[in-house]
Structure 1
Amino acid sequence: MNTCGRLDEHAKERKSFTKQAYAPGLKGPGPLGRIDFGNPALKPMLRMMADNMKKDTRAYHPPEGLRLRSLSVDNGNGRQIWCFVMEPEGEETRSLPGMLYCHGGGFFLPLQVPALRLAAKYAAALHMRIFLPEYRLLPEHPAPAAFDDCLAVWRQMMVRAEALGLDATKILLYGESAGGALAAGMAQQLLAECDVRPVGQLLIYPVLDDRCGRYASMEQSVDVAWPRSSNEQMWREYLRDITSPAAPLVPLRTDYSALAGLPPAYIEPQEIDILHDEAVTYAEALTAAGITVQLNEVSGSYHGFDAESDNAFVSRVIQRRLCAMKTMLESSSRQPRP
């Protein structure tokens, strides 16, 4: 496992989460992680919040040189999935590398502007098309709805690659937080089906396991961006119709021997995050299965820290991600496709 160095500009030693020892320059987390998404009394407020987020995404204008468009994707059962596409301007007829971006939000919240800002940076730097599906959300749609929607978008990207301007041999999977569970699970599902696979997976502070008590970082959950109580509530709601949770819906519930053959991975745990240890555990499992893994443990950072995408500290982390993406895309040109 290649750690590619640790972004350790703040602290050499791991510190208690309760001290909130954030890296200099970071503003600190917002209040979203402290909301009880399972509280019925909060449903009207949460619905209004989600509606406002959707309005913001539709009003977003990307930087010069990029365009943001939308398209409707058939999920295979006659239902349409709304999907944003971030892409370079003037490249409508050219085949470009692509990425499926599974956004975070605890399976409760829709695509948000910070994800679009990150997608814009990735699309501009790597000259690629990035697809961001608006998958179905809790509380109305528990698992496997979100997973099925993202998988349907992936399959349409493959089937319609030429029409969508995609080089199907150079497609990445990207997931942040809850989207990390979707991206990691999709990589496992595509491998099991011997389907067309991504050339790399990027998992950013990913949610990977519903068995919260297995990880020491879960105990250090006081006053952090995403507390254990919210994480447990999220999993209860997401898996409420699932009798026996298993992979790919819960990526770390997989048989580790089945991981061989997965695409290279970039995994990014944040130091001050209850999810830190499960991200490291998954990186170790992939490495043991012979998968190339770049583990970038970011010191002084917290869940959702990259919402400040123009922050100098965040910009350096983004450069690490871009480096990993570029390596994956370039390596795909030298490897035979399955």
Structure 2
Amino acid sequence: MKLSEVNPELRRAYWFMRTTPASSPALLRLLQRLPLQIPDGRAPAGMTLEKVRFGNAGGVRVYTPAGGGSGAALLWIHGGGFVMGSAAQDDRACFATAQELGVVVVSAEYRLAPEHPFPLPLDDCLDAWDWLQENAAAHGIDPERVAVGGQSAGGGLAAALVQRIHDERGTQPVAQWLFCPMLDDRTAANRELDAVRHILWNNRSNRTGWSAYLGTAGASEVPDHAVPSRRPDLTGLPPAWIGTGDIDLFHDENKAYAERLTADGVPTTFDVVPGGPHAFESLGAEAEVSVAYLGRAHRWLRERLG
């Protein structure tokens, strides 16, 4: 895939960032051994960041807007292909969402594969959901006004978490907010996609991530809640917003999931940005096309949260 295929407003953001360390298993293993040190993002005036430790993964980061918020909340899950990242990497985005919508954002830490394969990362996300529900009153949150969202692998975990909450819990999320979500391991098993060389997250990286999480990609059967797109019946899940770029590796699986949600009666918005590579709203956050895209996403979530 050539840089000329990228939206002109986003090309500068991807000039030097064409792929991720996950495309090289040796480099990925090296990076995973290094201590991850991401400085805390600076809180805008009047906002607070609280780090709460519990469970096996490190707990959550809580971003509270000035005045405490409207009583609604978002449980956010970071990306990284199941093998990289931490909640701190999304400080800027979480502060922005909390400030823009006037809601508390709770960002979950989760253990990474392959040392911690499925279901452990999803267990950690469920622990974060349970913590939020149990501590809602202390943070001025109505437990029935909580959405679940995430980006990339975090978007896939968010979709899986929504399914698991549907099956195992009482109070349900009011919405699922999914940015370029990693939903289907069968994409990684399609070797024909290796030749496309998608920008930032290509299919070789995708296979590394899914194989680390599941043990293999594209197996004939997978456990319940492991792969969101493999769930046969999506009836009863909360309204969904799914956003992606049309040159993202995940575009086709995101579109297919949006169509299945709609067919099963779930109100779904599918927002596609022409020339948008993977995670463009993060790497090219200042571009007009990203600002407009995030504006649409925020308006949708604001309506769902009330």
| TM-score, structure 2 normalization | 0.89
Decide whether aligned partners of structure 1 residues 110 and 294 sit closer, same or farther in structure 2, where only a CA change above 3 A counts: same
| Aligned position for 2:33 | 47
Match of 1:71 among 41, 52, 65: 52
Residue 38 (structure 1) shift: 6.5
| Aligned position for 2:296 | 320
Aligned CA-pair RMSD: 2.5
In the alignment, residue 66 of structure 2 is paired with which amino acid? E
SS across alignment from 1:313: helix
> Any residues of structure 2 matched to 1:287-306 within 5 Å, and which?
287-306=262-281
Residue 313 (structure 1) shift: 2.1
Residue 31 (structure 1) shift: 3.6
Counterpart Cα distance in 2 of 1:324 and 1:220: 36
Counterpart Cα distance in 2 of 1:40 and 1:231: 15
Match of 1:128 among 95, 98, 103: 103
> Any residues of structure 2 matched to 1:26-105 within 5 Å, and which?
26=10, 27-29=12-14, 31=17, 33-36=19-22, 39-40=25-26, 42-48=28-34, 51-52=36-37, 55-56=38-39, 58=40, 60-73=41-54, 75=55, 79=56, 81-91=58-68, 96-105=71-80
Residue 23 of structure 2 contacts residue 208 of structure 2 at CA under 8 Å; is this kept in 1?
yes
In the alignment, residue 304 of structure 2 is paired with which amino acid? M
CA deviation string 1:61-88 (max 9, x = no partner):
1222322111123x4xxx4633111111
Percent of pairs identical after alignment?
30
Residue 185 of structure 1 contacts residue 247 of structure 1 at CA under 8 Å; is this kept in 2?
no
Residue 99 (structure 1) shift: 0.5
SS across alignment from 2:59: strand
Decide whether aligned partners of structure 1 residues 284 and 264 sit closer, same or farther in structure 2, where only a CA change above 3 A counts: same
Counterpart Cα distance in 1 of 2:36 and 2:168: 36
Match of 1:310 among 276, 286, 306: 286
Counterpart Cα distance in 1 of 2:147 and 2:18: 28
Residue 246 (structure 1) shift: 3.4
- Higher relative contact order, structure no. (Cα contacts within 8 Å, ≥ 6 residues apart): 1
Give the gaps of 5 or more residues in structure 1.
Answer: 1-16, 331-338
Give the gaps of 5 or more residues in structure 2.
Answer: none
| Aligned position for 1:329 | 305
Residue 217 of structure 1 contacts residue 273 of structure 1 at CA under 8 Å; is this kept in 2?
no
| Aligned position for 2:230 | 253
**Does residue 186 of structure 1 match 2:152?**
no
CA deviation string 1:17-54 (max 9, x = no partner):
44542222212435473424662465233433x613xx
| Aligned position for 1:266 | 241
Residue 198 of structure 2 contacts residue 248 of structure 2 at CA under 8 Å; is this kept in 1?
no
Residue 276 (structure 1) shift: 0.5
| TM-score, structure 1 normalization | 0.81
CA deviation string 1:203-257 (max 9, x = no partner):
11000011116879946732511110000111111112998423411001111xx
SS across alignment from 1:295: strand
Decide whether aligned partners of structure 1 residues 38 and 213 sit closer, same or farther in structure 2, where only a CA change above 3 A counts: closer
SS across alignment from 2:246: strand
Residue 224 of structure 1 contacts residue 273 of structure 1 at CA under 8 Å; is this kept in 2?
yes
Residue 216 of structure 1 contacts residue 277 of structure 1 at CA under 8 Å; is this kept in 2?
no
Counterpart Cα distance in 2 of 1:177 and 1:162: 30
